[in-house]
Structure 1
Amino acid sequence: MTMEAKLAFSQDSPPISIICAAKVAGLPLTIDPSLASGSAPTLWFGSGESLHGVNPILHFIARGASFSSFSGQNAIEFGHVAEWLEYAPMFLSGSEFENACSFVDGYLTSRTFVVGHGLTIADIAVWSNLAGIGQRWESLRKSKKYQNLVRWFNSIDAEYKDTLNEIVAAYVGKRGIGKSPAPSLKEKVHDSKDPSAPEVDLPGAKVGQVCVRFAPEPSGYLHIGHAKAALLNKYFAERYQGRLIVRFDDTNPSKESNEFVENLLKDIETLGIKYDAVTYTSDYFPKLMEMAESLIKQGKAYIDDTPKEEMRKERMDGIESRCRNNTVEENLSLWKEMVNGTERGKQCCVRGKLDMQDPNKSLRDPVYYRCNTDPHHRVGSKYKAYPTYDFACPFVDAFEGVTHALRSSEYHDRNAQYYRILQDMGLRRVEIYEFSRLNMVYTLLSKRKLLWFVQNKKVEDWTDPRFPTVQGIVRRGLKVEALIQFILQQGASKNLNLMEWDKLWTINKKLIDPVCARHTAVLKDQRVIFTLTNGPEKPFVRILPRHKKCEAAGKKATTFANRIWLDYADASAISKGEEVTLMDWGNAIIKEIKMENGVITELVGELHLEGSVKTTKLKTTWLADIEELVPLSLVEFDYLISKKKLEEDEDFLDNLNPCTRRETPALGDANMKNLKHGEVIQLERKGYYRCDAPFIRSSKPVVLFAIPDGRQQASLN
């Protein structure tokens, strides 16, 4: 920045991170706290140009700094800086503050700076958001709870003490450096091809006049890709104080059912999406048929009986159908055959007469109507001809008053078709707003392909934990809040991204770890008895917290006895004479290791409760050898396909993962009889689990689904 610039912001929301960054970068700013409350900060230049929003301005400052490394030393570091700028406002959310502190504290364990090996604007953004918290952070700073975070904070503080603390002193108490928890979609709705680009608006949108729609086809359950579309529609409806319609695009009776409608509504509710109306394309079948007939009469559509494969080839080659110049009378006669579902009618379809030579193949006389004699889930056998999505969607959008149609960029080539059909129908223009489809590694999102797994019993049903459906991933242990957070991080970017599941499960771990109860289990077929010669003659019980840092998790009864079970993996790691720590009890010394054929059969030792837990190498979980132990089935899952990304010409059937589910029998502490369906727990030193089938009787195990924690898992194969 070679010229002076003016930073305008609202007085109740001073962007401390921007002011701090400019000071550190040595860039002059004129401060103008004159904007209306709630306004995004704006950086004005003498030329009249401007930048809006916290992150775009921070990126600009980083690039204009006197030292180039302020935005990262290379392209990868630049990307990491961008990620941290988006994460920094997490500290401003009351509910997420401690989770953010915990995460960054762990991240900084072996790091001096947030990104790379030198100071970047990411350090300043995180520092200023922490400093902007005020007393709550200062209290933690004096404690020893987050030592790595405090060490890093103090080093920045010492380096730029006069510069930064002067700003904090002037503005803390007035800060609003991003009042909503990060990642906020409002901060994310921009074209991420250019990280400095300002927030993107819906074209031509006016507050109070926007109407959007989420239009799933009821041919499957809502999956993670649909969830992105649904949440973006929710966001824009709320942002512009407009309307949101949920519309079921039910134009193919062969694929659709009431089961799918009911579960889609259930999933929409699960995502917390409030809508103004639920409609169905089938509500408009009479009007759609009238429109099709009108276009035929106007010569804008015709009936074609060319076989399907031949028609596809003609479209690819730009060859006009021999039926294209049929008379209106001939077309209306065949249209009647289609409407009545006769054998002749079934050979035909309605095609729009657009342009067979257009380079955009979607404009080469697309199909508007087809015959289908399967009964419809709502209207039964009343209709024998049904509109295609391409024909029905623009009509119903215009008819329902939709102002902006959000759809993924995979449909980009069909946008011209959408507008042309609206034009031929004589209807008002509906603006299309594109966003990138959410693609996940090792994941199929095609409902047709997912249906194959259901029909061939490769999974239980659409709620199977291996499925990317909302119900499937929630059943596996994902919190809806984590899913929403993950999707909103993607924003409305048009960039095509292949996302890792690890990122989603990492967010989930941050939500469940602080609150989920702790329990103990040993593997049933891989355990060793440990006899304590000086242990209690009779078993006794102590009441312990289910989570040492979360009182709300409740209490549990732990039995102490002179014979206890250890996991074989722990037993095999112990040497004779070694002192180990029995978690929640104290130390014990191994006196004897009994073996048969090279396999450990028993450990013998004695309690040494006065021993220091700091000196022991192994801290092991254990369970008293009592009859009340609960049978468990620990279930792990793997991806359904074995390849990270399938190319367009690859068949998913050639890339099926041979082993996607593994069950391991185990025994759990007696308290696990009280687990509720859906409850999330942590098995000490084993991981996080969700209870899918609670205790009924001792002969039937409690089923626990393993929840990924964001770290790469080993394959089940």
Structure 2
Amino acid sequence: MEEARLAFAQDSPPLAIIAAAKIAGVSLTIDPSLAPGSVPTLYLGSGDFIHGINTILRYIARVTTVPSFYGQDAIQAADVDQWLEYAPVILSGSEFEAACSFLDGFLASRTFLVGYCLSIADMVVWSNIAGSGQRWESLRRSKKYQNLTRWFNSIAVDYAGKLDEVAAAYVGKRGIGKSPAPCLKEKVQDLKLNTSIPEIDLPGAKVGEVCVRFAPEPSGYLHIGHAKAGLLNKYFAERYNGRLIVRFDDTNPSKENNEFVENIMEDIDTMGIKYDRVTYTSDYFPKLMEMVESLIKQGKAYVDDTPREQMRAERMAGVESKCRNNTVEENLSLWREMVNGTEIGMQCYVRGKLDMLDPNKSLRDPVYYRCNTVPHHRVGSKYKVYPTYDFACPFVDALEGVTHALRSSEYHDRNAQYYRILQDMGLRRVEIFEFSRLNMVYTLLSKRKLLGFVQNKKVDGWTDPRFPTIQGIVRRGLKIEALTQFILEQGASKNLNLMEWDKLWTINKKIIDPVCARHTAVLKDQRVLLTLTNGPEEPFVRILPRHKKYEGAGNKATTFTNRIWLEYADVMSTGQEVTLMDWGNAILKEIKTENGIITQLVGELQLEGSVKSTKLKLTWLPDIENLVSLSLVEFDYLITKKKLEENEEISTANLNPCTRREISALGDPNMQNLKQGEIIQLERKGYYRCDVPFIRPAKPIVLFSIPDGRQQSVANK
């Protein structure tokens, strides 16, 4: 469309038109020269002109290339028209809050107002709400209408680059809510990741000055528990326009390697975590050694050769070590033995001299340094001594400029230790912000225990779909958007909860269902052939949508023949009228059996029958040669106990004996085009993720079943 001129009264700019044009890519010249009260007019390059807000909006929707901007069909177009009439009347009048209440309920299970795509209905409602100024801001802050807030901010976030300019320029100037509204970026800064979560404040945080860090140890792949820490750090960095550092806590060479580093970086990218820089604790090894030597010289640390178990027992009992009062010279001498990795040094530990009688046992002279001769994945065999996490973490936090250190509440008793160590080091204070650890039912989050499953080959590596790792749950079919929403809905609560997987998979279903393609499959060992006596003499093909409500899913070719495959479970009795999906009705006339087993069915098409009157809507496949082989895989929990305590070991009593079930099936030929990672729905069977795509006819396509929030145990099946 050629550039057009939009003329309107300066005191009432048509925000809906300007916003819709921005999204639709329609070029407008703004002309606020009309007299007050005038109807907006769009002047086209051809000399034609269009009067009225709704008429112009409909015109923009018809000329744009944005899919379904005026709905996908006539019914959706009618729905759009209703919203165009409804929004300006109700949202700009005295019933504004009542309208918001209605919209909140309407959007409870919807992403958009009409269908599954953005339309001008969303534009006109969004514009009228945005233009209400302080009325909407007050309601938004009250958290009264969270579904409406989610929708409003998701529209703003997804199209912020285009709508921000519109809102900043025109909101508060259109005669509705005269007080200026804040810039759109300010309105949604705190809700970029998930717009339905409660707002969370960091103590003492200032916009532009916050620095947080996500500090995983490279001793395994990231799991869903780490995801909570990572996404919360991302949330605060974005909310306060601050910095996010990814730091690898690589202080234990016995557990760490580059494979874990590489895969953690992959997971960080998968989760959409944007960071300012990547650092390693090992970058600071020289400075950490200088610091511990300084503390020894100041008498704030000492070297202890007490055997490890005895040292632990003495700490629990509040008994001072015999080495606690060593001279500085004795301590430095033993420290040099440690640095050189000698036989004497290997028996020693550097401990902080804090308070052996403190009720908080983490302050009873904690270990700062210990020996380890295993080569480090980055620095090789350069060092024989390594700092503990408790010593290195506050030091590096302070040096890197971290303002707020996010830690799960399981570390609560060690917060006093963190602050005391910073104090003894003479470094600035870093604020600790706690959140609850994420615990999931029937799930192991201990990397040590997960490693045991990998080493004992009870799973297919760290990416196994039964694992709670990021790569595992994504491979099973979880969308990162669902994980983000699930985690951020909990906010930064300190309450310890054992979360159900069902809620996460339910969120996931709402994300994948509106867009994933539909296909058909029948189980190989449960199929029976139906001959349609009045079926087509020659097979014919129709092109059908892969998703009836989402054209972006594309099309598929479906063959219609007089011989089709059904499943035993769908065979009820003769004389019953059923609907063959995507075809029409049929009546079962005859059931042939041998030794009590159904071998063949005979029926006839009843295409004039009403599909609304039948109870059974059956999936079917044509009896043709190019059906594809499928392997449908279902998974179950690895353990049978809802919660395995940290010190509780895995035994045969709590191991699930059946965690994987594989079923052979046949699928429609279009599935040859599935790509690895693509998510589909098998009609009447559920959602699946393609793990192994089509390679050759003899090798089946492998599809992993995606739970939908109503998971049944594989063992029960």
The amino acid across from 2:234 in the alignment is K
In the aligned structure 2, how far is the partner of 1:336 from the partner of 1:188?
56
What's 2:704 paired with? 705
Residue of structure 1 aligned with 2:599, choices 581, 590, 601: 601
The amino acid across from 1:587 in the alignment is N
In the TM superposition, residue 91 of structure 1 has moved relative to its aligned partner by 3.8
The amino acid across from 1:652 in the alignment is I
The amino acid across from 2:629 in the alignment is P
What's 1:546 paired with? 546
What's 2:294 paired with? 294
In the aligned structure 2, how far is the partner of 1:128 from the partner of 1:471?
30
The amino acid across from 1:583 in the alignment is M
Residue of structure 2 aligned with 1:629, choices 627, 632, 636: 627
Q: What SS does structure 1 have at the residue aligned with 2:687?
A: strand
In the aligned structure 2, how far is the partner of 1:216 from the partner of 1:565?
52
What's 1:43 paired with? none
Equivalences for residues 149-164 of structure 1 within 5 A: none
In the aligned structure 1, how far is the partner of 2:544 from the partner of 2:666?
19
In the TM superposition, residue 270 of structure 1 has moved relative to its aligned partner by 1.3
In the aligned structure 2, how far is the partner of 1:128 from the partner of 1:399?
42
In the TM superposition, residue 577 of structure 1 has moved relative to its aligned partner by 1.3
Q: What SS does structure 2 have at the residue aligned with 1:655?
A: coil
What's 2:643 paired with? 645
The superposition leaves residues 5-53 of structure 1 with CA deviations (integer Å, 9 ceiling, x where unpaired) of: xxxxxxx9xxxxxxxxxxxxxxxxxxxxxxxxxxxxxxxxxxxxxxxxx
In the aligned structure 2, how far is the partner of 1:594 from the partner of 1:313?
78
The superposition leaves residues 256-287 of structure 1 with CA deviations (integer Å, 9 ceiling, x where unpaired) of: 11111111111111111111111000000011
The amino acid across from 2:553 in the alignment is A
What's 1:516 paired with? 516
- CA distance change for structure 1 residues 537 and 180 in 2, over 3 Å: closer, same or farther? farther
In the aligned structure 2, how far is the partner of 1:401 from the partner of 1:286?
18
In the TM superposition, residue 200 of structure 1 has moved relative to its aligned partner by 4.6
TM-score relative to the length of structure 2 = 0.75
- CA distance change for structure 1 residues 425 and 564 in 2, over 3 Å: closer, same or farther? same
Q: What SS does structure 1 have at the residue aligned with 2:379?
A: coil
In the TM superposition, residue 652 of structure 1 has moved relative to its aligned partner by 3.0
Equivalences for residues 396-415 of structure 1 within 5 A: 396-415=396-415
In the aligned structure 2, how far is the partner of 1:90 from the partner of 1:204?
38
In the aligned structure 2, how far is the partner of 1:398 from the partner of 1:565?
68
The amino acid across from 2:545 in the alignment is P
Equivalences for residues 569-608 of structure 1 within 5 A: 569-571=569-571, 574-608=572-606
What's 1:217 paired with? 217
**Aligned length, in residue pairs:** 571
Asked if structure 1 preserves the Cα contact closer than 8 Å seen for 2:526 and 2:567, the reply is yes
Asked if structure 2 preserves the Cα contact closer than 8 Å seen for 1:404 and 1:430, the reply is yes
The superposition leaves residues 65-96 of structure 1 with CA deviations (integer Å, 9 ceiling, x where unpaired) of: xxxxxxxxxxxxxxxxxxx99x9599499955
- CA distance change for structure 1 residues 278 and 489 in 2, over 3 Å: closer, same or farther? same
In the TM superposition, residue 624 of structure 1 has moved relative to its aligned partner by 0.8
Asked if structure 2 preserves the Cα contact closer than 8 Å seen for 1:189 and 1:492, the reply is no
In the TM superposition, residue 714 of structure 1 has moved relative to its aligned partner by 3.2
Q: What SS does structure 1 have at the residue aligned with 2:220?
A: coil
The amino acid across from 2:581 in the alignment is M
The superposition leaves residues 349-379 of structure 1 with CA deviations (integer Å, 9 ceiling, x where unpaired) of: 1111111111101011111111111110000
- CA distance change for structure 1 residues 692 and 428 in 2, over 3 Å: closer, same or farther? same
In the aligned structure 2, how far is the partner of 1:321 from the partner of 1:100?
68
In the TM superposition, residue 615 of structure 1 has moved relative to its aligned partner by 2.0
Q: What SS does structure 2 have at the residue aligned with 1:615?
A: coil
RMSD: 3.2
Of all paired residues, the percent bearing the same amino acid is 78
Tell me, yes or no, if structure 1 residue 331 matches structure 2 residue 321. Answer: no
Tell me, yes or no, if structure 1 residue 266 matches structure 2 residue 266. Answer: yes
What's 1:241 paired with? 241
In the aligned structure 1, how far is the partner of 2:496 from the partner of 2:525?
46
- CA distance change for structure 1 residues 175 and 285 in 2, over 3 Å: closer, same or farther? closer
- CA distance change for structure 1 residues 691 and 100 in 2, over 3 Å: closer, same or farther? closer
TM-score relative to the length of structure 1 = 0.75
What's 1:478 paired with? 478
Q: Which runs of 5+ in 2 are unaligned?
A: 1-12, 14-99, 118-142, 156-174
Equivalences for residues 223-234 of structure 1 within 5 A: 223-234=223-234
The amino acid across from 2:643 in the alignment is K
What's 1:558 paired with? 558
The amino acid across from 2:712 in the alignment is Q
Equivalences for residues 38-57 of structure 1 within 5 A: none
In the aligned structure 1, how far is the partner of 2:178 from the partner of 2:508?
31
The superposition leaves residues 415-452 of structure 1 with CA deviations (integer Å, 9 ceiling, x where unpaired) of: 00001111111111111111111111111111111111
Asked if structure 1 preserves the Cα contact closer than 8 Å seen for 2:212 and 2:233, the reply is yes
Q: What SS does structure 2 have at the residue aligned with 1:646?
A: coil
What's 1:375 paired with? 375
In the aligned structure 2, how far is the partner of 1:131 from the partner of 1:434?
26
In the aligned structure 2, how far is the partner of 1:375 from the partner of 1:130?
53
Mean CA deviation greater in 467-476 or 171-180: 171-180
The amino acid across from 1:553 in the alignment is A
Asked if structure 2 preserves the Cα contact closer than 8 Å seen for 1:91 and 1:181, the reply is no
The amino acid across from 1:674 in the alignment is N
In the aligned structure 1, how far is the partner of 2:664 from the partner of 2:222?
32
What's 2:283 paired with? 283
Mean CA deviation greater in 582-591 or 180-189: 180-189
In the aligned structure 2, how far is the partner of 1:312 from the partner of 1:508?
46
Q: What SS does structure 1 have at the residue aligned with 2:525?
A: coil
- CA distance change for structure 1 residues 392 and 129 in 2, over 3 Å: closer, same or farther? closer
- CA distance change for structure 1 residues 499 and 175 in 2, over 3 Å: closer, same or farther? farther
- CA distance change for structure 1 residues 186 and 479 in 2, over 3 Å: closer, same or farther? closer
The amino acid across from 2:699 in the alignment is K
The amino acid across from 2:662 in the alignment is E
